[in-house]
Structure 1
Amino acid sequence: MVLDYQLVLLVGASLVVILLGLPVAFSMLACSIVYLWMNDFPLSVTVQQLGYSLDKFTFLAVPLFMLAGLLMNAGKVTDRIFDFANALVGRVPGGLGHVNVVASLIFSGMSGSVLADVAGLGAMEVKAMRDKGYDTNYSVGITLASSAIGPMFPPSVSMVLFGVVANVSITGMFLGGVLPGILIALCLMVYIFAVAIRRNYYTSRWAGWPVLTLTFLGAVPALLTPVIVVGGMILGIFSPTEAATVAALYALFLSGLFYRELSFAALSTVLLETALSTAKLMFIIASALLFGWVLTIGELPQFLANTLQHLFPQQWAFVLAIIVVFLVLGAVMENAILLLVLAPMLLPIARDGYGMDPIHIGVVMVFANMIGQYTPPLGLSLFVMRDVTGLSLAQISRAVAPFLVPLVAALVLMAYIPQIVVWLPHRLGY
């Protein structure tokens, strides 16, 4: 199969204008319009495709899960999560490093987002670790790395996006992320333990069962969020979109009525931030899906399938190629765009050409994509942490670099041991 030279020019031009500083969504939109014009498509098709790409009921889950995470942040639910995590694992060698990971694991069951985790827990965790004598780079690095659990443990905005564009069960994707989320936490905690022993880092004293019980009771309402959301979907009580609505309403109840930490001024700020973030993300989604549709017209998916199956006849090599592609491109492209463009092309190849389970390869893609959040120049988490801590982007990049080792180790394990991902979904019929 011969690749359309105009399609090659399209991809090349999009990369050039991105390097020149044009936002990725605008570059994809512009290059898509040029390609359609060169191939005598009426330009009204562009508008139709942009509108049609967002005409999916499930996309409503994205802003609702974002709203739930922001409400949890504004209602200071993170304070209670941190206190409980500290009482639970603060005495383990590595102390607040383990607290950092456990707090992120718990909060990921409410926010479903890397950025929400960094913004909500980041400042508190970094300050707490610095006050106890932990090295600044170490504190920043573990805070960023632990936020990687956010998109893996249900609910997850990235899982919703993948499920919609790749036509994979979102509930199945949520369930597929449970064990990998725990695996990521364990890999990070092993690394933290080893570093803490070598550097003789501070470890808090055991506070006793009364304190643990008290902090647990304070965090129980927050801990119930993933149980309500995922449990309701498994039992068929509500769909993923309805689950997002339940999560947002429950977050509003917790922050505003139960904990009484959410003021009307804070609520208006949260709603405005959600609206602006949603508008930006939906424009990115529409542009990426239009770009993907144009690539399909040019038969790039078919060319890619033939090429990959020729270059990588064995499944393990194909999986390694996917991991490398996401890790490399994640450093220069926005993560949502990368997932939206590549997932619909690579999933059919993995499923039909290599016999891989869609949930398995989906979870691997999502996590490989998320690791790109920590690599310059476009790792969004680095910019959020810069705003939180006031440190330079270069220092934050150096701080998180050692923690990429346990993250990549977890990625390799879930990629080559499929049962880590698919055991739970399969047991529950997905």
Structure 2
Amino acid sequence: MKQTITEKIFSAHAGYEVKAGDIVQSPIDMIIGNDITTPISIRAFKKSGASRLANPDGFAIVMDHYIPAKDIASANQAKISRDFAYEHDLKHFFDEKDMGIEHALLPEKGLIVPGDVIIGADSHTCTHGALGAFATGMGSTDLAYAMITGKNWFKVPASIKVVLKNKPAEHIYGKDLILELIRQIGVDGALYRAIEFSGDALRYLSMDDRFSLCNMAIEAGGKSGIIAVDNITKEFLSALKLAREPKIYHSDEGANYEHVIEIDTSRLEPVIAYPFLPSNGRSMSQAVADDIAIDQVLIGSCTNGRLSDLRIAAEILKGKKVARRTRLIITPATQKIALQAQKEGLMDIFAQAGAVVSNPTCGACLGGYMGILAAGERCVATTNRNFVGRMGDRSSEIYLASSAVAAASAIAGKIADPRKL
């Protein structure tokens, strides 16, 4: 049988050949929890009577949403995960001493390996498909089941093939490509489907761009996003000490896809998703014509807080100032990224431009802290969601964009075209 990469990964884990639609029980290579969702999993784990993790080395807790704690409630919430991690002597427990947003930190640590099956109690777990793994979000009690058994149940998703063609146009990044896809198919266009990205444009996309692509598969309703391993992936992995031996799969010629979507990346303008859905995508030309004043800009998150994002922003900000009535918050996704940015002089550029740089955190993206929006305020954000009230007051607005668009908008005080600077 001709199989997609997703079907091959599940076949290998189940021990027999599977196809889309089959219900399988699969071993889990990595379970990911965070300070928000893990306490629920821990309660379910204890309620079951379990005392030992089925695979302690395949369980990571990353404290990234409200760390350092913003109030008493978040401190008490964090304490539940900390106590559990120390009780079970977790090898992969990442707190303030080694901070990072989970979907940037775990690949950096070599804990995400091609061919893996990965689950996390966070919807953007699909980010890790950029490394040729099957990765998806689940509920906290689903995580508890995997903590106890080392396995979980899946319906093998059918696949949608997205063919990215030609060399991307100027200032077109992974963020623009995924926003364009979601604009075309909508927030439910890939419901419970694996979105498989392919095409010759991938040779021009860094791992950072690929993580952005897969990260927002969930915003199209996808079960996962995935990209087959190629030389760019191998180069990224070569610098890491991997937790497991990679298992590299590629889809067969003639594998079955529900449908195929082609995007000519050479013809795109930067894409901005207007409130209040990621599918509400508009061209840069329209956004400039709309003359939208901006109160705040956020560059960061698990979607676009990586080193290339900071370099892109710094290149645009260098020698310039953030507009008087606009605030710019920059959130490196991990401490390692922050340190490298500091070595490269990027932090100086940000400070001189008038930006504030925060610790690695999901806080502003989810409207938790470190950048809450007031009534009626508008924000250009490199995050992944722009729902009503996502970053603060319900009357505030979020415009999703790339780091280049975000940086240009911070200087202009309104949505601006980075190609014109």
TM score, norm. by length of structure 1: 0.25
TM score, norm. by length of structure 2: 0.25
Identify which of structures 1 and 2 has the higher relative contact order when contacts are C-alpha pairs closer than 8 Å and 6+ apart: 1
- State the structure with more CA Rg: 1
More helix by share: 1
More strand by share: 2
